[in-house]
Amino acid sequence: MTRPAVAPVWGPPVLREVGRIIDYDAAAGTAWFEVPAHLAVPGDLTGASLVVRHPDTLVQTARVVVSPHRAGRIFGVYVIEGRPALEEEVARLADTLP
């Protein structure tokens, strides 16, 4: 018995939280995010493109690029599109599924 061909199911990209917005300067087009204590601090993120999304609805509110400015668990970002708000989630594409 042969199985019928099944088309792959594509969904939205899997995003993983890397931090939360702690400051936003609309005039400068910059923001800061902090990696919470329960998450591992990612390696060098400089130049990485990330998304900012509302933590309850997961609706994207901004796109950012990580700047070279970093202090421990706090990373600076350039806001490319949108308006991040305090406590919104910063996420990146997942490298692998769990």
Nearest to 29 by CA among 70, 78, 73, 68: 78
What pLDDT sits at residue 64? 97
Residue 98, helix vs strand vs coil:
coil
The residue with tokens 């900012």 is 52
In a domain, 42, yes or no: yes
What pLDDT sits at residue 98? 42
pLDDT in tens, the chain (98 residues): 666 666 666 656 678 899 999 999 999 999 999 999 999 998 888 999 999 999 999 999 999 999 999 999 999 999 999 999 999 999 998 764 34
Max Cα-Cα span within the chain? 65
Nearest to 22 by CA among 59, 75, 61: 75
What pLDDT sits at residue 97? 39
Residue 75, helix vs strand vs coil:
strand
What pLDDT sits at residue 9? 60
Pull the structure tokens for residue 71. Answer: 């202090």
Pull the structure tokens for residue 98. Answer: 């769990």
Q: Return the C-alpha torsion angle 28, 29, 35, 40, nearest 10.
A: -120
Residue range of the domain that includes 25: 15-93
In a domain, 9, yes or no: no
Q: Give the residues across from 34 on adjacent strands.
A: 20, 74
- The CATH code of the domain that includes 71 is 2.40.10.170
What pLDDT sits at residue 93? 80
Domain count for the chain, please give it.
Answer: 1
